[in-house]
Structure 1
Amino acid sequence: MKEGTLLWTPPPERFAQSNLERYRMWLHAEQGLLFGDYEELWRWSTAHPDTFWGGIWRYFDILSDTPYDRVRTGTGMLDTQWFVGSRVNFAEHALRHESVDPDSVVFCHSSEIRPLAQMSWGELGGAVRRMATRLRAMGIAPGDRIVSYMPNIPETAIAMLATTAIGAVWSAAAPEFGAPTVIERFGQIEPKLAFFADGYSFGGKAFDRRSEIAAITDALPSLETIVWLDYAGFDAAPPSPIASHSFADLLAGPPIPREDFRYERVPHDHPLWILFSSGTTGLPKAITHSHVGIVAEHLKVKNLHMNLSPAKRNFFYTTTGWMMWNSVLSSMLAGSSAVLYDGSPVFGGIDALWRIACDARATVFGASPTLVQSMRAAGVKPSERFDVSSIDTIFVGGAPATPDIFAWFYENVRDDAWVVSSSGGTELCSALVGGVPGKPVRAGEIQGRQLGMDVHSWSDDGDELTGEIGELVVTSPFPSQPIYFWGDEGQKRYHASYFETFPDVWRHGDLIKFTDDGGCYIYGRSDSTLNRFGVRIGTAEIYRVLEGVAEVSDSLIVCCEMPDGGFYMPLFVKLAPGHSLDADLVKRINRQLREQASPRHVPDEIVAAPSIPFTLTGKKMEVPVRKLLMGQPASKVASRDAMADPGVLDWYADFANRPEVAALRRTAKEGAPVA
Structure 2
Amino acid sequence: MTGLDDYTSWLAAQGKEFTSYDELWRWSVDDLAGFWTSIWDHFEVGGAYDRVLGSTDMPGAEWFPGAQLNYAEHMLGEPGDAERSAVLAYSQTRAPASLTFAELAGQVGRARAGLQRLGVGRGDRVVAYLPNIPETLIAFLACASLGAVWAACAPEFGARSVLDRFAQVEPTVLLTVGGYTYGDKQIDKTTDVATIRAGLPTVRHTVSIPYGQYEVDGALSWPELLNEPAPPEFDQVPFGHPLYVLFSSGTTGLPKAIVHGHGGILLEHLKAHALHLDTRPGDRILWHTTTAWMMWNILVSGLLRRATVVLTDGNPQYPDLAAQWRLAAEARVSLFGTSPSYLAACRTAGVEPGELPALRTLGITGSPLPGEIFDWAAEHLGDAVHINSMSGGTDICSALIAGNPWQPARRGELTAPCLGVDVTAFDAAGNEVIGQVGELVVRQPMPSMPIGFWNDPGDHRYRAAYFDSYPGVWRHGDWVTMSPERSFVISGRSDATLNRGGVRLGTAEFYAVVEELPGVADSLVVHLEDPDGGPGRLLLFVALAPGIELDDALRQRIRQALREQLSPRHVPDRIDAVPAIPRTLTGKKLEKPIKQILQGRAPAEVVAPDAISGYATIGAFTA
* Pair 1:44-2:59 in alignment: no
Counterpart residue number, 2:453: 485
Name the amino acid aligned to 2:468: E
Give the fraction of aligned pairs with identical amino acids, expressed as a percent: 39
Contact between 1:316 and 1:366, CA under 8 Å: does it hold in 2?
A: yes
**Counterpart for residue 350 of structure 2:** 379
Q: Is residue 399 of structure 1 aligned with residue 379 of structure 2?
A: no
* In 2, Cα distance between equivalents of 1:674 and 1:333: 46
1:296 aligns with 2:267: yes
Q: Is the 8 A contact 1:129 1:162 kept in 2?
A: yes
How far does residue 512 in structure 1 lie from its aligned partner after superposition?
A: 1.5
| Alpha-carbon offset, residue 674 of structure 1 | 7.6
Q: CA deviation at 1:413?
A: 2.7
1:95 to 43, 58, 76: 76
- In the alignment, residue 60 of structure 2 is paired with which amino acid? D
Change in CA separation of 1:102 and 1:213 when aligned onto 2, cut-off 3 Å? same
Give yes or no for contact 2:416–2:488 (8 Å, CA) kept in 1: yes
Gapped regions of structure 1 (runs ≥ 5): 1-16, 530-558, 569-602, 606-624, 629-633
CA distance in 2: counterparts of 1:206 and 1:565, whole angstroms: 36
Change over 3 Å in CA distance of 1:426–1:663 after alignment to 2: farther
The counterpart of 1:640, out of the listed 532, 552, 557, is 532
Find the aligned partners of 1:68 and 1:237 in 2 and give their Cα distance: 46
Q: For the residues of structure 2 that align with 1:671 and 1:640, how far apart are their CA atoms?
A: 26
CA distance in 2: counterparts of 1:159 and 1:662, whole angstroms: 55
CA distance in 1, matches of 2:460, 2:169: 17
- Indicate the SS of the match to 1:640: coil
Deviation readout 1:398-429 (Å, 9 max, x if unpaired): 11111111111122233321110100000010
Distance 1:18 1:207 in 2: 43
Q: 1:505 to 1:333 in 2, by over 3 A?
A: same
Structure 2 matches for 1:220-231, cutoff 5 A?
Answer: 220-231=200-211
Secondary structure at 2:169 match in 1 = coil
Q: Which amino acid aligns with 1:129?
A: G
Structure 1's 53 and 665: CA in aligned 2 closer, same or farther, altered over 3 A?
farther
- Aligned counterpart, 1:432: 400
Structure 2 counterparts to residues 302-381 of structure 1, below 5 A: 302-381=273-352
State whether residues 498 and 506 of structure 1, in contact with CA within 8 Å, keep that contact through their aligned partners in structure 2.
yes
Please list the CA deviations of residues 270-289 of structure 1 after superposition, one character each: whole Å capped at 9, or x if unmatched: 10000001467531000000
2:161 alignment partner, one of 167, 178, 181:
181
TM-score norm. by structure 1 comes to 0.77
Once the two structures are superposed, what CA deviation does each residue of 1:110-167 show, in whole Å capped at 9, x if it has no partner? 1112233322111111100110011112210100000000101111111111111111
Q: Quick one: which amino acid aligns to residue 447 of structure 2?
A: P
Candidates 64, 83, 90, aligned match of 1:83: 64
Task: Supply the AA of the counterpart residue of 2:225.
Answer: L
Within 5 Å, which residues of 2 pair with 1:250-265?
250-254=225-229, 256-257=230-231, 261-265=232-236
What residue in structure 2 maps to residue 61 of structure 1?
A: 44
- In the alignment, the residues of structure 2 paired with residue 480 and residue 639 of structure 1 have an alpha-carbon distance, to the nearest angstrom, of 41
Query: Do 1:401 and 1:421's aligned partners in 2 also have CA atoms closer than 8 Å?
Result: yes
Q: Larger relative contact order (C-alpha < 8 A, sep ≥ 6)? A: 1
Over 3 Å counting, the alpha-carbon distance change for 1:500 and 1:100 in structure 2 is: same
Q: Work out the CA distance in 1 between the residues paired with 2:227 and 2:444.
A: 48
The 5 Å alignment of 1:218-617 reads 218-234=198-214, 236-239=215-218, 244-254=219-229, 256-257=230-231, 261-278=232-249, 281-383=252-354, 387-528=355-496, 561=508, 563-564=510-511
1:112 corresponds in structure 2 to 92
**Residues of 2 paired with 1:370 and 1:319: CA distance?**
16
CA distance in structure 2 between the aligned counterparts of 1:73 and 1:413, rounded to whole angstroms: 46
The equivalent of 2:612 in structure 1 is none
> How far has the Cα of 1:438 moved from its partner?
1.8
> Is residue 2:5 matched to residue 1:24?
no
Displacement of 1:627: 4.6
Residue 266 of structure 1 deviates from its aligned partner by 0.6
Q: 1:336-362: CA deviations, max 9, x gaps?
A: 111111011210111111011111111
Contact 1:109 1:339 in 2 (8 A): yes
Structure 1's 661 and 181: CA in aligned 2 closer, same or farther, altered over 3 A? farther
Say whether the 8 Å CA contact 2:277–2:363 is kept in structure 1: no
Match of 1:507, SS?
A: strand
Deviates more, 1:295-304 or 1:460-469: 460-469
Stretch of structure 1 that moved more, 442-451 or 245-254: 245-254
Distance in 2 between the 1:430 and 1:504 partners? 21
My pick for the range that moved more, 661-670 or 499-508, is: 661-670
Q: Shift of the alpha carbon at 1:467?
A: 2.1
Higher mean displacement: 245-254 or 453-462: 245-254
- Whole-angstrom distance in 2 between the partners of 1:640 and 1:157: 55
Counterpart of 1:539? Answer: none
Task: Verify the 8 A CA contact 2:4 2:278 in the aligned structure 1.
Answer: yes
When the two chains are superposed, the root-mean-square deviation of aligned CA atoms in Å is 2.7
Residues 277, 566 of structure 1: alpha-carbon distance in 2 compared, 3 angstrom cutoff: farther
Q: In the alignment, is residue 141 of structure 1 matched against residue 121 of structure 2?
A: yes
Indicate how the Cα distance of structure 1 residues 566 and 175 shifts in structure 2: closer, same or farther if over 3 A, else same. farther
Alpha-carbon distance in 1 for matches of 2:91, 2:194: 25
Contact 1:475 1:506 in 2 (8 A): yes
> Would you say 1:159 and 2:134 are equivalent positions?
no
Aligned pair in 2 of structure 1 residues 495, 662: CA closer, same or farther (>3 Å)? farther
**Match of 1:508, SS?**
strand
TM (norm. structure 2) is: 0.83
Task: Indicate conservation of the 8 Å contact 1:369/1:565, yes or no.
Answer: no
**Could you report, residue by residue, the CA deviation over 1:541-576 in whole angstroms, capped at 9, with x for unpaired residues?**
xxxxxxxxxxxxxxxxxx9546455999xxxxxxxx
d(CA) in 1 for partners of 2:19, 2:197: 58
Q: Aligned partners of 1:103 and 1:164: how far apart in 2? A: 23
Partner Cα separation in structure 2 for residue 521 and residue 655 of structure 1 = 22
Residue deviations 1:166-207 (CA, integer Å, cap 9, x gap)? 110000001000000000000100000010011122131010
Give the counterpart letter for 2:220 in structure 1: H
Matched to 1:38, the amino acid is Y
Q: Distance in 2 between matches of 1:638 and 1:472?
A: 27
- How far apart, in 2, do the equivalents of 1:272 and 1:218 lie? 26
- Report how many residues are paired: 547
Pairing partner for 2:194 from 214, 222, 231? 214
Q: 2:432 and 2:349 mapped to 1: Cα distance?
A: 41
Q: Give unmatched runs, 5+ long, in structure 2.
A: 498-505, 516-520, 543-549, 572-623
> C-alpha displacement at 1:518, in angstroms?
2.4
| Cα distance between partner residues in 2 of 1:567 and 1:138 | 54
**Secondary structure of the equivalent of 1:441?**
coil
Counterpart in the other structure of 2:54: 73
Task: Tell me how far 1:101 sits from its aligned partner.
Answer: 2.4
SS in 1 for 2:444: coil
Write out per-residue CA displacement over residues 449-507 of structure 1, whole angstroms, 9 at most, x where no aligned residue.
Answer: 11110000112222212222211100001100000100011101001111111111111
SS at match of 2:81: coil
- Alpha-carbon distance, 1:80 to partner: 0.9
Equivalent-residue separation in structure 2 for 1:654 and 1:330 (angstroms): 42
